[in-house]
Amino acid sequence: MEEALIEVPTMRRFAGIALISDRIPDETTILTFRHLLEKHDLGEQIFETVKAHLSERGMTMRQGTIIDATLIAAPSSTKNKEGKRDLEMHQTKKGNQWYFGMKVHAGVDKDSGLIHSVVVTAANVHDLTPAADLLHGDEEVVYGDAGYQGIAKRPEMDGTKAEFRVAMRPGKRRVLPDTPEGKLQDLIETAKAHIRSKVEHPFRVIKQQFGFQKTRLRGLAKNRCKIHVLTALTNLYLARGHLLTEA
């Protein structure tokens, strides 16, 4: 960041540094600022402030939520001061591949595609565990992939009025009969998948546009703060067309 402020004029303008002769924050100052964000949970406050800003401009609908999770890898090397991997990260198996790191769970508005809730856990936490925290309570319908099978029966979902539209397990879908009923069921699953695909857009922005495919910080607290800031920026990125039109 220090180098970027020195070399990139647009970065200096964004940070309010008028001239290169002005004092540019050094690495220690920037690190202290990050610690301040983490200590006071300001990442979450930034996320909530951006949500409110977009909501005031009609950018969020509340009729439906798509829930999903994505894995963020963490360094598995033990070549560090402690000689250990990050103790708060864990490994999990997806398909035939093992991953070590953390998991970002998100609730995304089905109409706007914006993130309205996010939970960060170790990679070994099941997708269903934080699912209730991803709902805002006003949904009429909730979409999820096959990993959310059984969500409606969980005790924390008691009193939820939303209809759950969870994908059929791939193995069950593959053996659907070649009958009108089977073809109809397959079309329904295809329609669910088209709607659920919207949740992949913010995940792509976090990983590709903002380059967060692997953690650089140790521990969940630091990465949780970073994820909240990145989800706020992701919402602004996805809504940029609407916001620029208004401007």
Per-residue pLDDT tens over the stretch 23-80: 788 889 999 999 999 999 999 999 999 999 999 888 877 789 999 999 999 998 887 7
Question: What local confidence, expressed as pLDDT, does residue 179 receive?
Answer: 95
Domain boundaries, the chain: 1-39, 40-246
| Residue 169 pLDDT > 90 | yes
Would the pTM count as exceeding 0.75? yes
| Residue 247 pLDDT > 70 | no
Tokens of 138: 């006003």
At residue 240, the 3 state secondary structure works out as helix
Give which of 110, 108, 111 is closest to 119, Cα–Cα: 108
Give Cα separations from 85 to 7, 10, 100, 101, 208 (angstroms).
Answer: 35, 38, 10, 10, 25
Q: How confident is residue 20, by pLDDT bands cut at 50, 70 and 90?
A: low
**pLDDT tens, residue by residue, 58-73:** 887 778 999 999 999 9
- The structure tokens 């401007």 sit at 247
